[in-house]
Structure 1
Amino acid sequence: MSKYGTLVMGPAGAGKSTFCTALIQHLQNSKRPCFYVNLDPAAEEFAFEPDLDIKDLISLEDVMEEMSLGPNGGLIYCFEFLMENLDFLTDPLEDVTEDYLIVFDMPGQIELYTHVPVLPNLVKVLMQGSLNIRMCAAYLLEATFVIDRPKFFSGTLSAMSAMMMLEMPHINILSKMDLVKGQVARRDLQRFVDVDADLIDDDPSRKPSDEEDSKNYRDPATKESLMSGSAFHKLNKAVAELIDGFSMVSFLKLDVQDEDSLGAILSYIDDATQYHEAQEPREPKEFDADMEEQ
């Protein structure tokens, strides 16, 4: 018997916990059970109380105080400690049935997804062995990044790095779409959804042009010089072409206030985990009985 889960990831401020809250509410409205796992040892407030919380095992605040570590080092220590005490995570998940969607709310430090092997090792434990969870990673990137094209491609590169590092079914999501309504034309937005490398060359905010840049001297140590000009453009162009060469990243659009948007994201998660293929037809009374047991 398989279990089903989604790993909600992305940089800090991308809206991961908000998405988890909206997804859980959507599942409840659909009378579908879920199991909420918080794996962010620094999280403090929850709209829905987690069924399993890493802070009951270890918290980032305690690690930073007792081990004299910074936030990033402390977070990696927390996950290494979790890997040494996997029974804390795996034992409760053993009892979760195939009807549930297990939602893993992850921290925002992208080092976990791109630099160190601890998260890939954790994913292997969850997807293999007795748990046998069919997992789909959901990587969130804030939609406001499309306003700043170099920032957008930087975020897209981190999403691609996570895809290659984790080696699991993966969807990428532009979150907070409500914040860019009216700022980006629908036609232009589609180029971000499908990640068009030519967006770098077509950036209207790029100035001065390469020709002007070569004629006008500017102090290379200033922030304006570092974040603009021909050298900065060539770097961003190289990043965009690297992403385009792999052809791995495209985005889904998310507005957590829109039930249709949430339903569409959930359908992609279910397709990636093959949830519906393993389900048998059930009577409505059976769903009601499951919800009463929660």
Structure 2
Amino acid sequence: MDPRPQFLMTDAGHFDVCYQINPWMQPTAWRADPAACKAAAQAGSAQLKAALQAAGAHVETIGGVRGLPDLVFPANAAVVLDGRVLLARFRYPERQGEEAVFRSAFEKLRKRGLVEELVDLPEGLFHEGAGDCIWDKDRKLFWAGYGPRSSHGALAVIRRVFGQEVVPLELASDRFYHLDTCFCPLAGGKVLYYPAAFTAPALAAIRARVPEAQRIEASDEEAAAFCVNAVNLDAKVIMARAPASLRAKLRAGGYTLVEVDLDPFILSGGAAYCMTLRLDRTSAPAAAILAAE
């Protein structure tokens, strides 16, 4: 078993911004210079992959598909824990073609032993994967967003499939349409989040479980830069280019920032976390993992 953190990414060769299903998407900006945007996207994806590898991770990369530009955001493909894969069902038709592609990719990963089991979401429910269901390894629970994309009814399915506590967090607006755009658990128990993205009951749920000293609040500017949409590996936080204010907050918390130019993907409403899916998350305590090795 490879002890390195395992991530899934999608090649960015077919990425573009050609439709609008969230308020951040700017197809007009992309069309202004598609060649430059495409080159920048491929460079940004390569830089993100290199940053993950430099942090000690292994990255599995699947091919892109013409006509499915948002395939570059595999965080939305599934919820993965303990080798079990709960496959996503997308709300918007523009992304529903991704479902078969990701299923095929996970079947191949299963045959190689990188995941163990694929589970389908019941009919009539929408859920957009780890973008709306984030594992908190310190608290041993899922934070689960719902509202703009994912159905509240899917939360009970997550609880049943994985046998873990699920904390529902209702998202307050379409601007922060997935939980991963506004909420990021960090190593050591801290949480980076954007309070304005949540309803009052959701904020109360966060504050009931995360002490004030462990809450890092992102400003409007920091959230709009998609910096909360970050990948955390121990003390390293890999994210889109950050305002100086957020750099200071995270460094004060003991974290090292690795910044990547992901501007072309922000034109589609995504950044570092959206572009990756962690495959090896486990609910087992760290001591049990070490003993097993």
What TM-score, normalized to structure 2? 0.29
Higher relative helix content: 1
Q: Over alpha carbons, which structure has the higher Rg?
A: 1
What TM-score, normalized to structure 1? 0.29
